[in-house]
Amino acid sequence: MKKKSLLFLLLTVLTVSALLFSVASCKKSEQIVTPAPPSNEFLTTVIFRCVNTAAPYDTTTAIWRALNPSSSAPPDTSKAILTFNKNSTYTCNVYILDESKTALSALVQPNFNINNLPSTTVNVTTEIRARQNYHLVCFDMSGAITSNLTVARTDYDTNNPPLQVGLNDNATVLAPSTGRMEMALHHQPNVKNGSCGPGTDDFDVYYGVTIH
């Protein structure tokens, strides 16, 4: 009989200590919310900047921007507009930035210069250039500009044979018209073949286009 009581006692002690252990062992690590590490880069801003080859003062810079990817607010497309002059040729560059760490006042300006970024803005274009062998920028026109605006990629990667990348482009502009240009960065590990079909999108943004 003594044995039984001892055992029961043991059992009770075990249960209680288990419960205590379970409560005590909670390290409360859930109470510290860890944001994403600062070295991780988000794509927040996609810029398409073109310079008239015949008149370098004729520039157009379209900025598509979603600063807070976890906000339900729509992206800021107020500056996502390209304005070209008819019958011209432009040299264009694609810039991808991470402005999620940038103080609001220092956001990139329409008179944008890639060499003059706020110190907290990250130029993700460099990373994409480093991974150019499986990236491809694609353009798609809709509206009346379809027959009046052609964007051709001018840069090549180091695949064998080399394939186009599209971070550097030439835009050929014809008659006055308006429309919309879709610009997408395709992510194509193992399957880059020069076409826009394979892979997923790192970004897929739209710019309004006016040709004067």
Partner 1 sequence: MHTLKTFLICCCLFGVHASYLHAQDSCTLSLSGKVVCTRTHEILTYAIIYIKESKKGAATDEKGMFLIPKICPGKYSIQVHQMGHRILDTLISISGNTHVVFDLPPDDTHLKEISVESHQVKKEEVETVHKSELSGEQLQQTRGENLGDALKEIAGVDVIQSGATIAKPVIHGLHSNRILILNNGVRQEGQQWGDDHAPEIDPFIATKLSVIKGAASIRYGSDAIGGVVLVEPAELPKEKCMNGELNLVGMDNSRLFAGSGILQGAFDNKLSGLSYRIQGTYRQAGNIETPDYILDNTGLLEKNYSGAVAYEKEHYGLNVYYSHFYSELGIFTYSEASNPAQLLQLFQELAPTNFPLSYYLQKGFYKINRGYQAVSHNLLKATAYVKYGTFGKLEATFARQTDSRQEYDLDVPYSINGSLDNAPQNNFDLTTHTAELIWEHNSWHHISGSLGGSFITEGNVYTGLTYGALIPNYRNYGGGLFLIEKWNPNDKFTLEAGIRSDYKWQREYMLNPTSLLEYTNTQQYNATTATIGASYRFSPTVSLSMNAGNGWRAPSAFELYAFGVHGATGQFVVGDSTLKLEQSYNFCSSLLYAGSKLEAELGAYVNVIDNYIYLKPTLTTHINIDGYFPVFDYTQTNALFKGIDLDVKWHITPQLLYEPKATLIYANDLTTHGYLVLIPPQRFQNKLEYRWKKLAGLRNVFVNGGNLIVPAQTRVPPNSDFVPPPKGYVLFSASVGCSVKVRNQDISFSIICNNLLNTVYRDYMDFFRYYADEPGRSVQLKIRIPFQFFPTKTTQTSIN
Beta carbon of residue 109, minimum distance to partner 1 (angstroms, whole number) = 20
List, in order, residues 6 or more apart from 27 with CB less than 8 Å away: none
* Burial bucket for residue 43 (CB in 10 Å: 0-12, 13-18, 19+): buried
Smallest separation, CB 139 to partner 1 (Å):
15
Residue with smaller CB distance to partner 1, 113 or 200: 200
Smallest distance, partner 1 to C-beta of residue 212, A: 27
DSSP letter for each residue of 41-82: ----EEEEEEEESS-TT-EEEEEEE-S-TTS-SPPB-TT-EE
**Inter-residue contact 95 to 168 (CB < 8 Å):** no
Q: Which is nearer to partner 1, 22 or 158 (CB)?
A: 22
Convert 162-205 into a string of H (helix), E (strand) and C (coil).
Answer: CCECCCEEEEEECCCEEEEEEEEEEECCCCCCCCCCCCEEEEEE
Closest CB to partner 1 among residues 33, 56: 33
Distance in Å, CB of 42 to partner 1, minimum: 6
Shortest separation between residue 72's beta carbon and partner 1, angstroms: 7
Closer by beta carbon to partner 1, 31 or else 111: 31
Which residues would be at the binding site for partner 1 (CB under 8 A)?
Answer: 1, 4-5, 7-8, 10-12, 14-15, 18-19, 21-23, 25-37, 39-44, 46, 64, 66, 68-72, 74-75, 98, 100, 122, 124, 127-128, 131, 184, 187, 189-191, 198, 200-205
What's the full length of the chain, in residues? 212
**Choice between 177 and 188, CB closer to partner 1:** 188
